Amino acid sequence: MKRSLIILLAATVCIAAGCKTNNETEMSNIDKKSVEKTIEALGGKYADIDGIDDRISRGVEQVAALWTDADGTPEEFKAFCEENFVADPGERARMAAQLEKNFESLWGCFNKMNVDLNLPIHVDGPEPTPLDELFGAYSPSAHFNDDMFQQKIAFIVVLNFPFYTLEEKNTLGSKWSREQWAYARLGDVFTARVPADCLQALSAQLSAADNYIANYNIQMGQLLDEAGGHIFPDMSLISHWGLRDELKTHYNDGEAGLAKQRMIYQVMRRIIDQSIPQCVINNPEYDWNPYANTVSKDGKDVNAEPEPDIRYQYFLDNFKAMRQLDRYNPRYPTAIVRAFEEDMEVSFNEIEKLFDEFCSSPQVAGVAHLIEQRMGRKLEPFDIWYDGFKSRSTLNEDDLSAQTRRLYPNREAFAAKGMPLILKKLGFSQEKSDFICSHITVDPSRGAGHAWESAMRSDNARLRTRIGSDGMDYKGYNIAVHELGHNVEQTITLHDVDHYIMKGVPNTAFTEALAFVFQVRDLDFLGYNNDDHTSDAMFTLDIFWSCYEIMGVALVDMYSWSWLYDHPEATASQLKEQVIRTAQEVWNKYYAQYLGEEDSPILAIYSHMIDVPLYLANYPYGHIIQFQLEQQLKGKVVAAEIERIYPAGRLTPQHWMRHAVGREVSTQPLLDAASEALGVLEK
Residue 279 DSSP symbol:
G
Considering all CA atoms of the chain, what is the largest pairwise distance in Å, rounded to the nearest integer? 90
Q: Evaluate if residue 7 carries a pLDDT over 80.
A: no
Q: Evaluate if residue 13 carries a pLDDT over 70.
A: no
pLDDT per residue as tens digits for the range 610-657: 999 999 999 999 999 999 999 999 999 999 999 999 999 999 999 999
Could you give the count of Cα atoms lying within 13 Å of 437 in the half-sphere of its Cβ? 20
Q: Evaluate if residue 439 carries a pLDDT over 60.
A: yes
Residues in CB range of 339: below 8 A, 6 or more apart: 613, 614, 615, 617
614 dihedral zone (left: phi>0; alpha: psi -120 to 50; beta): left
pLDDT for res 27: 63
**Per-residue confidence at 142, pLDDT binned at 50, 70, 90?**
confident
b/e for 21-30, b at 16 or more Cβ within 10 A?
A: eebbeebbbb
Q: What average pLDDT does range 254-273 have in this prediction?
A: 98
Q: Evaluate if residue 596 carries a pLDDT over 70.
A: yes
What is 485-510 written as a DSSP string?
Answer: HHHHHHHHHHHSSSSGGG-S-SSHHH
Q: What average pLDDT does range 492-516 have in this prediction?
A: 95
Q: Evaluate if residue 603 carries a pLDDT over 70.
A: yes
pLDDT for res 9: 35
More confident residue, 196 or 220: 220
Q: For residue 240, which of 593, 608, 500, 508 has the smallest C-alpha distance?
A: 608
Q: Whole-angstrom Cα distance, residue 437 to residue 158?
A: 37
pLDDT per residue as tens digits for the range 349-381: 999 999 999 999 999 999 999 999 999 999 999
Run of H or E residues at 643: helix 638-645
Percentage of the chain exceeding pLDDT 70: 95
pLDDT per residue as tens digits for the range 452-498: 999 999 999 999 999 999 999 999 999 999 999 999 999 999 999 99
Residue 461 DSSP symbol:
E
pLDDT for res 484: 98
**Per-residue confidence at 392, pLDDT binned at 50, 70, 90?**
low
| Sequence spans of domains, the chain | 2-191, 213-273+275-308, 312-390+530-681, 395-521
pLDDT for res 24: 38
668-681 and 618-633 helices cross at what angle (nearest 10)? Answer: 70
Q: Evaluate if residue 595 carries a pLDDT over 80.
A: yes
**Mean pLDDT value across the chain:** 93
pLDDT for res 195: 87
pLDDT per residue as tens digits for the range 542-567: 999 999 999 999 999 999 999 999 99
pLDDT per residue as tens digits for the range 227-253: 999 999 999 999 999 999 999 999 989
Q: Evaluate if residue 683 carries a pLDDT over 90.
A: no
Rg of the Cα atoms in the chain? 26
Q: For residue 489, which of 441, 427, 440 has the smallest C-alpha distance?
A: 440
Which residues, in sequence order, are bridge partners of residue 79?
A: none
Q: What average pLDDT does range 262-291 have in this prediction?
A: 98
619 within 8 A of 482, measured Cβ to Cβ:
no
Q: Whole-angstrom Cα distance, residue 640 to residue 647?
A: 12
**Per-residue confidence at 665, pLDDT binned at 50, 70, 90?**
very high
pLDDT for res 324: 94
User: Which amino acid makes up residue 300?
Assistant: K
Neighbours of 77 (CB within 10 A): 23
pLDDT for res 1: 61
pLDDT per residue as tens digits for the range 49-77: 988 999 999 999 999 999 999 999 999 99
User: Which amino acid makes up residue 173?
Assistant: G
pLDDT for res 6: 34
List, edge to edge, every strand of the sheet that includes 2-3: 2-3, 449-452, 461-465, 440-444
Q: Evaluate if residue 19 carries a pLDDT over 80.
A: no
Please give the span between the terminal C-alpha atoms of the chain, in angstroms, as a whole number: 37
pLDDT for res 137: 86
**Per-residue confidence at 17, pLDDT binned at 50, 70, 90?**
very low
Q: Whole-angstrom Cα distance, residue 324 to residue 302?
A: 43
**Per-residue confidence at 135, pLDDT binned at 50, 70, 90?**
very high
CA dihedral of 335, 160, 186, 110, whole degrees rounded to 10: -90
pLDDT for res 12: 35
Q: Whole-angstrom Cα distance, residue 456 to residue 104?
A: 5
Q: For residue 421, which of 439, 408, 409, 405 has the smallest C-alpha distance?
A: 408
pLDDT for res 5: 37
SS (H, E, C) 593-618: HHHCCCCCCHHHHCCHHHHCCCCCCH
- Sign for the CA dihedral angle at 543, 546, 552, 555 comes to negative
pLDDT per residue as tens digits for the range 563-588: 999 999 999 999 999 999 999 999 99
pLDDT for res 532: 73
404 within 8 A of 473, measured Cβ to Cβ:
yes
Q: For residue 451, which of 499, 488, 416 has the smallest C-alpha distance?
A: 488
Q: Are strands 294-297 and 300-302 parallel, antiparallel or unpaired?
A: antiparallel
19 dihedral zone (left: phi>0; alpha: psi -120 to 50; beta): beta
Q: What average pLDDT does range 300-309 have in this prediction?
A: 96
Q: What average pLDDT does range 387-406 have in this prediction?
A: 86
Residues in CB range of 374: below 8 A, 6 or more apart: 388
Q: Evaluate if residue 32 carries a pLDDT over 80.
A: yes
pLDDT for res 391: 67
